Amino acid sequence: MVAELELRKGEFEDKTVETIYFGGGTPSLLSLEELQLLMDSVYKNYDVSQAPEITLEANPDDLSEKVILQLSQSPINRLSVGIQSFFEADLKLMNRAHDAFEARQCLEMATRYFDNISLDLIYGIPGSTSQQWKENIEMALSFGVNHISSYALTVEPKTALASFIEKGVVENVDDALAERQFHILTETLANSGFVHYELSNFGKEGYFSRNNSAYWQGKSYLGIGPSAHSFNGVQRSWNIRNNAKYIKAIENKELPSEIETLTTTDKYNEYVMTGLRTIWGVSLEKVRHDFGKVYEDYLLITSQRHIKKHLLYIEDDKLLVTKKGKFLSDGIASDLFKINNH
């Protein structure tokens, strides 16, 4: 990964690194020396801003007090902790390595050393009640964290959960339950001073994830390591998933990645999808400026149906999702996609 950072520095010559994010998989398995080596390599090869946001994704079972203390003395200034739930039954169902006690203990310690902490919660878990879900949110808030990411449970094929559902051991995911719990989440967090700035993300003012906001606002980013994705504004690329092939290519000073050049339609579709997920919405002026009047007209015509159903609205030259439409925003976005270049 250090070699890949060196190989690719030319891609970021004219840019300043504003965020560094250790995520995807379980980066908290790395030793502090290994994390430091990667950070040093970024600083050596790239222009880094004065106060970058440096996030480490971590699981509760990796965060002992000693590890948290060491991390707090490193340049890492933000933790994203994969709590998922404070209930034992939920964690077992999702096959998590930590238990409910570890989840609470880890947050108790982390909040002593870190001010900027995000935690993940999952809703729509089969068999969970709305009352339990409220307790989950209240428990998260009791630690005084300033950012929460929350996702509906999705059943991935070939997982233990998928086979339990197939065999009838566990109930299937219920969309109506997920939607009810989504509304409980948005209401409870709004009452606690959180801004729902992106479909799955809630932050207090000053604590929005700068890293994730960059994705939604179409900024360039470099992804380092096997299967990591990158974007430069025009092209997307992704590294090979196979570890051995990745290492071999890097040793040969070759980039083990595939590249896709985005068409105007691809860029328009991505902008609509990411814009509708955020409080910033889709700027009609940007659509006019970047894609032309044909695209703006197309967007205005296709959005009419959703405006009539009170799922979308236009304000200050921006297309935004209503409170009622939030849970459905990905589906609404796909209705607004342009399918071809005509």
Per-residue model confidence as pLDDT tens digits over 124-146: 998 889 999 999 999 999 999 99
- Own/partner contacts of 100-109, CB < 8 Å, gap of 24 or more, are 102/60, 102/61, 103/60, 104/139, 105/60, 106/60, 106/63, 106/68, 106/81, 107/60, 107/81, 107/83, 107/143, 107/145, 108/143, 109/63, 109/65, 109/68
pLDDT higher than threshold 80 for residue 336: yes
pLDDT above 90 as % of the chain: 83
Would you state the pLDDT for residue 341?
Answer: 53
What pTM, to 2 d.p., does this model score?
0.92
**Which of the listed CATH numbers 1.20.1110.10, 3.30.420.10, 3.30.360.10, 1.10.10.920 matches domain 266-336?**
1.10.10.920
Q: Rounded to an integer, what distance in angstroms lies between the CA atom of residue 110 and that of residue 35?
A: 18
CB-based contact 124:173 (threshold 8 Å): yes
Of 27-36, 155-164, 209-218, 252-261, minimum mean pLDDT range: 155-164
- Of residues 51 and 157, more confidence is placed in 51
pLDDT above 70 as % of the chain: 99
Nearest residue to 125 (alpha-carbon basis) of 166, 89, 156, 98: 89
DSSP secondary structure string for all residues of 57-78: EE-GGG--HHHHHHHHTSS--E
pLDDT band with cut points at 50, 70 and 90 for residue 342: very low
Whose tokens are 């998933």? That residue is: 241
Domain residue limits, the chain: 2-215, 225-261, 266-336
For the stretch 124-147, what's the b/e string if a residue is b when 16 or more beta carbons lie within 10 angstroms of its beta carbon?
bbbebeeebbeebbebbbebebbb
Stretch 88-98: mean pLDDT: 86
Does the domain at residues 2-215 carry the CATH identifier 3.30.750.200?
yes
Stretch 167-175: mean pLDDT: 77
Would you state the pLDDT for residue 168?
Answer: 79
